[in-house]
Structure 1
């Protein structure tokens, strides 16, 4: 299949973007999964599900952008995009994602504390009257 120069350039760009997308999804997966060891079987199942989901997302991305034209060059471009992401952006992205996650959990804790305050106050008053 002969491709025009413009089509080849788009194929190159979208393949690189696809590799970066795989890197982003992998970092999000690492943050969600955490860094503790939860068992070999669970880890294998999680990894298989991650790669199936990643494969589907990349296939749909490639299908939308270049009609799922796949050859050896496309795989090399995807790998190049992934390596560029890992070497240049990954550590910064993980730091930002960790900070956002920490801020989000702090906000949720504060909201839960404020919403549950009347209930805790009533329980405290009831327990205080029972003891007297």
Structure 2
């Protein structure tokens, strides 16, 4: 099937766009791995999902641009698009996404702190009666503990006294 040069240029530019899209997906994947720090099994699952997504992107670009025909310039377009993205846009995109995620984290933490603040205040207010009760009841507690341990202390002192009397004989 003969294709014109204009169609080939269109396919090449479409596959370059696909390469840029693949580079973007790869950056998202890198950011997710940095955030979640997965273990071996989770990494395998993430890798599998990443390659399925990348394959889907490549197939979709090939199907929409030239009915799925594989030519050398389609592979060249994917490679050049991903290299172009990596050299020109990758650092900017990563910094922007990390900044947006940190901004989102700060916003969520601020919202959580605002929601939890009334609960913290209630807990602080509830501590006041407990502190007062503890202050009033602690002397009574110590007296009762001293009275409750009195038989044990008396038995210990008697044993000690008997030992010293037995040694003197």
Same fold at TM > 0.5: yes
- Structure 1 alignment gaps of length 5 or more: none
TM-score (norm 2): 0.69
Partner of 1:66: 66
Partner of 1:88: 88
Worse-matched range after superposition: 33-42 or 71-80: 33-42
Q: Please tell me whether the aligned partners of residues 62 and 68 of structure 2 are also in contact (alpha carbons under 8 angstroms).
A: yes
Task: Kindly report structure 1 stretches of 4+ aligned residues shifted beyond 6 Å.
Answer: none
TM-score (norm 1): 0.86
Deviation at 1:96, TM superposition (A): 1.4
Q: Give, in whole Å, the separation in 2 of the partners of 1:41 and 1:2.
A: 47
**Higher relative CO (CA 8 A, sep ≥ 6), structure 1 or 2?**
1
Worse-matched range after superposition: 86-95 or 32-41: 32-41
Q: Give, in whole Å, the separation in 2 of the partners of 1:80 and 1:7.
A: 18
Distance 1:37 1:97, change over 3 A: closer
Q: 3-state SS of the aligned residue for 2:89?
A: helix
Q: 3-state SS of the aligned residue for 1:2?
A: coil
State whether structure 2 residue 129 is matched by structure 1 residue 108. Answer: no
Partner of 2:139: none
Count of residue correspondences: 132
Partner of 1:39: 39
